[in-house]
Each structure stands twice: as structure tokens, then as C-alpha cells.
Amino acid sequence: MKPQKLSWITVPLLISLVLQILGLLVLPFLIPLIDVALTSVANAPNSGLGPQELRLVRSLTGTTLWALLLLGVFWAALIYFTYGAVHDGRSWSRSAALVIAVTGLINFPVGTVLGVLILMGSFDPEVQGYLSR
């Protein structure tokens, strides 16, 4: 039988997953915005950005966005598999949920609330028993 406070872990994980996916969907729309900003900075007088510097900044920005995309996909997959494992009562899911909760505390204010809820649910004795099978 599933404990009552298990939803204190699963619901915040589900919300985190939805927010992570929305963040990944917004990421491609940042490219034109960053390009416009770089172009306007390069065209400003006394900007100090020549064509070589502008190419370097664009390539570093593109590399950063790709790295963020890969990291975001990995994080979304971790949240998804942790959500399923918590439902199934797997023992490793509590540790993964704690990692997600602690890193979520940094993401103020929504991630902080979700992280606190996951932490409160993870330390409930019934939930600990359910997730230690």
C-alpha cells in the first residue's frame, strides 16, 4: 500500500518535469534574441567588438546553448525516471529524489518550494519504508 505522503514527492517531481520540458522548449527561441543583442552591441560605437571577436562570442554562445540543452535533457530524464521509480517503490528513487530536491532549492522561488516538499515527503517514516523495498 502506498503511503499518503508519497504524493509529496511525486507531485513536485511531476511539476518539475513539466517546468523542465517548458524550459527546454524555450531554449531555441533564445538564439535569435541573443543574435539581435550581439549585433546591436557590435554596431554600437566604441564597442570594441570586431568581426573576429563577434564570431568568437557567437560560437561560445552557441556552444553554451548546446551544453545547456544536453544538460537539460539529462535532467528531465532523471526526473522522469525518478518519478516512475518513486511510484514503483524502488530503493534508489529516494536518493535520486533527494538530489533533485537539494538542487531544486537553488531555483528560487518555485524550485525551492518543490524541493522543500520533496524533502518533507522523503523523510516521512512511512515513505522511507515504502521506498526501501
Q: In this predicted model, what pLDDT tens digit does every residue of 4-42 receive, in sequence order?
A: 999 999 999 999 999 999 999 999 898 889 889 888 888
Exposure on the CB side of residue 87, measured as CA atoms within 13 A: 11
pLDDT score recorded for residue 83: 97
- Using the predicted structure, report yes or no on whether residue 49 has a pLDDT greater than 80: no
If we measure between CA atoms, which residue out of 97, 103, 104 comes closest to residue 79? 97
If we measure between CA atoms, which residue out of 77, 78, 61 comes closest to residue 27? 61
Q: In this predicted model, what pLDDT tens digit does every residue of 120-131 receive, in sequence order?
A: 999 999 999 999
Q: In this predicted model, what pLDDT tens digit does every residue of 60-113 receive, in sequence order?
A: 999 999 999 999 999 999 999 999 999 999 999 999 999 999 999 999 999 999
| Domain residue ranges in the chain | 4-130
pLDDT score recorded for residue 66: 93
